[in-house]
Structure 1
Amino acid sequence: MIKSMTGFGRGTSEGEISSFVVEMKTVNHRYFELNVRMPRTLISLEDNIRKYVNEKVKRGKVDIFVTQNQGDKDSMEVVLNEQIAESYLGALHKLKDKYGLRDDVSSSTLARFPEVLTLKQKEEDMDQIWQELLPSLEAAVLNLCSMREEEGKKLLADITSRCECISANVEIISTRVPEISEEYRKRLLKKVEEILTERNFDESRIAMEVVLQADKTCIDEEIVRLKSHVNQVLETLKMNEPIGRKLDFIVQEMNREANTIASKVNDLKLTNVALDIKSDIEKIREQVQNVE
């Protein structure tokens, strides 16, 4: 099933130690990129989150926001960073000695400085914390994937519709090509006749004109390849796996064939049809940029 890379999901869970709110959003990206914002006390769980999300989301830029509300305060402990505290204390003493300040440093004063005291989750509780966080993460991912699938249905409908338009326009060109070839043939005969009226004509020049004119009219190969590429897009859309990169490559090939056709058809009507094909291909390319 085709999936969009754009989506949003939210999940909540409550446990004995903590309750959690997980929110996540995704946008299009060439690869899988995950950014997690959560309390520092949960940093050891980031790899668990990454592995779980990557099993469900294969491509896109993913932002996850984890909010934790503490339930059991006994699961937390205050950690003193003695090295930082001593550094602050030494700096304060230097200030006192240098400027003759009053020595009024207290433990409460020192505790206010950054990183002196930190709140840390007790290591023995992290497994339980993960089990309490997981349901909210699962719900958020489920809601996200559901939204991406709904967006994918819209992409599928649009891309399929444009492929049908391209196929119809290719048929118009294919039907008109024999008429154009006949017109070219007449022009070629006229050109040859003009050359033959010259007293000293060059046979190589005639051969060159024939080759040039024939090359201008021959778009059979391009038409066959363009039809094949359209079929490849439609078949790829049926695949039950990430298809964004594959579609992007096929669309590039479609655009190359359409450019060649547009440059070869020396006919106003077909030139406009070729431009319509190029327009639909460009719109497909824009849509494909958001396919997982």
Structure 2
Amino acid sequence: MLYSMTGYGSDKFTIFNTGYEIIITSLNSKNIDINIRTPQSLKSLEIDIRNLLANKLIRGKVDLYINYDMQKGSPTPTLNEDVLYGYLNQINNFSFKYQINEMENPLATLIKLPGVFEIDKNKLTDAEVEIINKSIENAINQVIEYRKQEGEKTQKDISDKINIIKINTEKIIALKEERDKKIREDLINLTKQLPDNIEIDHNRLEQEILYYLDRLDINEELQRLTAHLSYFEKELQDNINLSKGKKLAFISQEILREVNTLGNKSNYLAIQQIIVNIKDDIEKIKEQLSNVL
């Protein structure tokens, strides 16, 4: 079974008499790349959230956002008078020291400074942490289900392409005898074009033809290609290892290596045309695997 790295999940929870919404998105990435944005009141949970995402989602570029649920109302900011007084006192001292006219109404500027207004300064209880974690897990499970559905579509498409490659491989095997015969005939015809005064050692000629055919023999490449295709299918159907995109990508690279060698050695138009189609399917598979967990 394949899982895509593309996913989406969301959930909502309420603490401090305030509603929050969780949104998780996931895209493809070589490794796990996590970005978390939460309100200040939940910053203390970010390390645990990061570990949970890494353990559950394994790979991908994962973004988690926790925002206020505006339908349930955002929290009311609280004015921190001590901080505001501190800012105001420093400005007054600075103005007096350097003989600068004081601002007529500095509050409009001061209230924008960090710490003047506070939101959700409450300390999280164990029960509230449990509510948050459960909500995050609900969103993660939605991402996993989304990945599963996308992965099922990808797996079917890749499986269909592998079957086409296997059929084309059988076509190459069926053409091999005809191809070997054609190469032999071409070599013999070349010798017939030599001048009549050149004496040909037919035993030596036969040895050279056999040597040339041996160098162009594609049996080993066909055997390895068939083995790689079987191995790919076995891994594709495996339901134990959920993260196998990298392994399948490696096997597909080995398949492409054998196909390239076949193309270089085939020296036969009908086989080369089939190989072009096989390579096209392999490239499509590799592109799909780049988004597989």
Structures share a fold, TM > 0.5?
Answer: yes
**Partner Cα distance (1:185, 1:226) in 2:** 25
Distance across 1 between alignment mates of 2:191 and 2:139: 73
Q: What amino acid is aligned across from residue 228 of structure 1 in structure 2?
A: A
| In the alignment, structure 1 residue 284 sits paired with structure 2 residue 247 | no
Q: Any idea what SS the aligned residue of 1:101 has? A: coil
Please say if residues 20 and 136 of structure 1, whose CA atoms lie closer than 8 Å, have aligned partners that are also in contact. no
**Within-5 A mapping of 1:26-41:** 26-41=26-41
Which SS does the other structure have where 2:134 is aligned?
helix
Amino acid at match of 1:244: G
Give CA deviations for 1:151-206 in whole Å, capped at 9, x if unaligned: 11101100000000000000000111111112222233344566796658899x96
CA distance in 2, matches of 1:171, 1:154: 26
Would the alpha carbon gap of residues 92 and 167 (structure 1) be closer, same or farther in structure 2, given more than 3 Å must change? farther
State the AA in 2 paired with 1:66: I
Q: 1:88 to 1:236 in 2, by over 3 A?
A: farther
> Contact 2:158 / 2:285 at 8 angstroms: preserved in 1?
yes
Unaligned runs of 5+ in 2: none
The equivalences for 1:174-185 within 5 A come to: 174-185=173-184
Give the stretch that moved more between structures: 119-128 or 18-27.
119-128
Contact 2:22 2:136 in 1 (8 A): yes
* 1:194 to 1:92, Cα distance in 2 relative to 1, 3 A: farther
Q: Distance in 2 between matches of 1:176 and 1:201?
A: 31
Partners of 1:214 and 1:155 lie apart in 2 by: 40
More divergent stretch after superposition (192-201 vs 127-136): 192-201
Q: Kindly tell me: are residues 257 and 79 of structure 1, through their superposed partners in 2, closer, same or farther at Cα, counting changes over 3 Å?
A: farther
AA aligned opposite 2:253: Q
Question: How far 1:258 sits from its partner (Å)?
Answer: 1.0
1:8 aligns with 2:11: no
Aligned residue number for residue 43 of structure 1: 43
Residues 236-266 of structure 1: per-residue CA shift (max 9 Å, x gap): 1122320010011111111111111112212
The aligned amino acid for 1:63 is D
TM-score, scaled relative to structure 2: 0.83
Q: What SS does the aligned partner of 1:46 have?
A: helix
In 2, the alpha carbon distance for the partners of 1:199 and 1:102 equals 112
Helix, strand or coil at the partner of 1:146: helix
Counterparts of residues 1-292 of structure 1 (less than 5 Å): 1-15=1-15, 17-68=17-68, 89-90=89-90, 93-95=93-95, 98=98, 100-102=100-102, 104=104, 108=107, 111-119=110-118, 121-122=120-121, 124-191=123-190, 199=198, 211-216=211-216, 218-239=217-238, 240=240, 241-292=242-293
- Percent identity at matched positions? 26
CA offset at residue 215 of structure 1? 1.5
Residue identity in the other structure for 2:58: K
* SS of residue matched to 2:243: coil
Contact 2:87/2:110, CA 8 A, preserved across alignment: no
Q: Which amino acid aligns with 2:255?
A: M
Q: CA offsets, 1:56-115, max 9 Å, x none?
A: 2111111111124599979x9766786x97577545644566464146477x46741421
SS in structure 2 of the partner of residue 20 of structure 1: strand
Displacement of 1:28 in angstroms is 0.7
Distance 2:99 2:288 in 1: 67
- Say if 2:111 and 2:117, in contact at 8 Å, map to a contact too: no
Indicate if the aligned counterparts of 1:13 and 1:21 stay in contact, CA closer than 8 A: yes
Evaluate the alpha carbon distance shift between residue 93 and residue 232 of structure 1 in structure 2; reply closer, same or farther with a 3 A threshold.
Answer: same
Quick one: distance in 2 between partners of 1:258 and 1:72?
Answer: 61
C-alpha displacement of 1:214: 3.1
Cα RMSD of the aligned pairs, angstroms, is: 3.4
Could you say if the C-alpha distance between residues 267 and 101 of structure 1 is closer, same or farther in structure 2, counting changes exceeding 3 Å?
A: same
- TM, length-normalised to structure 1: 0.83
